[in-house]
Chains A and B, each alone.
Chain A
Amino acid sequence: MPKSSRGIWNGSLSFGLVNVPVSLVSSVRDLGVHFTQIHEKDGAPIDTRRFCSKEDKEVPYEQIVAGYELKKGKWVTLTDEDFEAVEPRKTRTIDIEAFVPAEQVDPIYFDHPYFLVPAGGEGGARAYRLLVRVMKDSDRLALGRFVLRTKEYLAAVHVRDDALALTTMLFHDEVRPTKGIEKAGGKTHAPSKKAVDNAVALIEELTTDWKPSRYKDRHRERLLDIIDRKRKGRTIEAPEPQEEPEPVPDLMAALEESLASARKKSRSNGRSRSRGGGGKKKSRAKAKS
């Protein structure tokens, strides 16, 4: 379990003149299947060692600095102290600059989700609880900036599961413009009203409640299964190749056929059973983990 002592960043969240000492913990678990590099011949793990390209000698970690190439072969070097001196306040403080309506922030800006855990004893815990209370029923995000490792992030603070959550965000110039991406604009490709009606009807037939636990990481499951089989000395077969579908010549016919088959399927299955509570019912599924 993530504990406050394991925070990847420790500092304070500053709201007006109120400081809330906090630790940052990731809200994403790394469940990926990780491999180690192995020397095929003897099964021994591979070590990565750092070598100076000029001296052809191994270099201890303390003798390595960050270099920025101004032009070919001309380097400027920065030390850890240089980085720390760049924005000392932002490396320790998240200053809340504004509260903005959550619906105005497109998820494209969101980078990585974290939780903030209070770290400053009774005073800190009370200030933290105060912020949770104030932000809980608000549909606003608190925006601030801070430096994590050697990168500054815009961050959105909000309440999730009765705790303060922080999501790092991209800066506006890190979100690319959509200019130049084909969207089939103009009148030529405008669908008829009937086609959109049919497509919406098909989407409604295929609509279900958002139940994230329904989706399993099949890549992870299959990889672990392959490892298990290999361990037991079985052979691993290549999966069946998938076929790539051809574009349909008649979009309207494809829609009507899909709609008819989706309706038939939902009637015969009894949709409330197979679709987990019925497609049309609008319920608010909260993020569960």
Chain B
Amino acid sequence: MPRSIWNGTITFGQVNVPIKLYSATESKTVHFNELHAKDKARIEHRRFCSKENKEVPYEEVVKGYEVSGGKYVVLEKEEVAAADPSGGKVVELEHFVHASEIDPVFYDHTYYVGAQDGGEDAYRLLLGALRRSERVGIGRFVFHNKEQLVALRALDGHLGLHTVRFADELVSGRDLDIPKPQKQPAKREVDMAGRLVDTLASVFDPAKYEDTYRKSVQKLIKQKAAGKEPEPPKEPSDGKPPDDLMAALEASLDA
């Protein structure tokens, strides 16, 4: 059984939906620890005062915000906590928007929403109404000591919640320095590239894409554990842009 990471209430209008949150994702990356190469002993991170050159116990560490070179404003834990409303565990939906209007670039983390005991009717009602109206609820809640903007939507037969990035956090393509070619691609090249796209057209089947790097790392760990040295890698091709774009496109279509 999955374990919930947060319990609270979604509100919209005067309707309250008691819910639980679950992580929807998990990293499967192989994790390593830092070791001292010489004796394979674990590395410890220790805190030192940069002035006294002495180790500092955790209780003597406070949070500082650098206001100018080397000058810090120190905040107590309670003062940092004062940045967010405390107590009530509420996701207050402020608006609803058409699901198709939100570019997924705004979505950050994803969580699954489960119904709490006694909240089943309200949960089903909200899920049914979001589905039928094809809307997404936009709201805020305090999570991990930080007020988050969130989007609530129907997801795989459940309610799903995304934390949402703020508009000023996103870089626009217009802010980038993208070099323009002196010569634009010719119509024939665009047509050929379009045909190449068509030959690679497929349906999205997530299970088709395996993390082969993860598997190779696991294999390498086994080899090294058995005392075998890994084979030296084959040098990959250099990835130069084509001198003749048209010839490269033609060769790709023939391949």
Contact = CB atoms under 8 A, between A and B. Distances in A.
Interface in B60-75: 60-67, 72-75
B83 A219 contact: yes
Interface string A12-56: 101111111100011111110111111111111111111111110
Nearest to B251: A17
A101 B203 contact: yes
Contacts of A97: 200, 209
A84 B243 CA distance: 29
B32 A215 contact: no
A99 B197 contact: yes
Contacts of B103: 160, 286-287
Interface residues of A, number: 188
A239 B36 contact: no
Nearest to A93: B239
Interface string B141-161: 000001111000001111110
Given A44-B49, A106-B155, A127-B242, A251 B171 contact: no
Contact of A151 (B37, B100, B213): B213
A178 B120 contact: no
A283 B101 CA distance: 8
A115 B51 CA distance: 42
A150 B160 CA distance: 30
A43 B128 contact: no
A17 to B, nearest CB: 4
B197 A35 contact: no
Contacts of A35: 63-65, 75, 80
Scoring B162, B169, B194 by chain A CB atoms within 10 A of each residue's CB, the highest score goes to B169
Contacts of B72: 36, 38, 43, 45
Interface in B97-148: 97-98, 100-107, 110, 112-116, 118-130, 132-133, 135, 137-138, 140, 146-148
Given A16-B252, A121-B241, A244-B89, A52 B197 contact: no
B13 A115 contact: no
Interface in A65-81: 65-70, 75-78
Nearest to A37: B61
Nearest to A213: B167
B167 A86 contact: no
Contacts of B233: 84-86, 88
B104 A89 contact: no
A273 interface: no
Contact of A176 (B2, B8, B120): B2
B15 A251 contact: yes
A68 B224 CA distance: 11
Scoring A109, A240, A242 by chain B CB atoms within 10 A of each residue's CB, the highest score goes to A242
B179 A244 contact: no
Contacts of A133: 185, 190, 193
Contacts of B182: 122
A207 B97 CA distance: 5
A208 B95 contact: yes
Contacts of B156: 106, 178
A130 interface: yes
B209 A154 contact: yes
A241 B212 contact: no
Contacts of B207: 172
Contacts of A244: 8-9, 87-90
B135 A207 contact: yes
A174 to B, nearest CB: 5
Nearest to A29: B169
A87 B78 CA distance: 48
B64 A37 contact: yes
B95 A2 contact: no
Contacts of B64: 35-38, 43, 45
B176 A239 contact: no
A280 B43 CA distance: 59
Given A89-B237, A251-B121, 6 more contacts: A17-B252, A19-B242, A43-B72, A64-B36, A175-B25, A176-B24
The 4 lowest CB-CB distance pairs between A and B, nearest first, are A258-B13, A161-B173, A16-B252, A242-B88
15 contacts: A15-B193, A18-B248, A28-B165, A82-B220, A92-B236, A99-B200, A138-B197, A145-B209, A150-B217, A163-B178, A188-B120, A199-B128, A207-B98, A246-B16, A285-B101
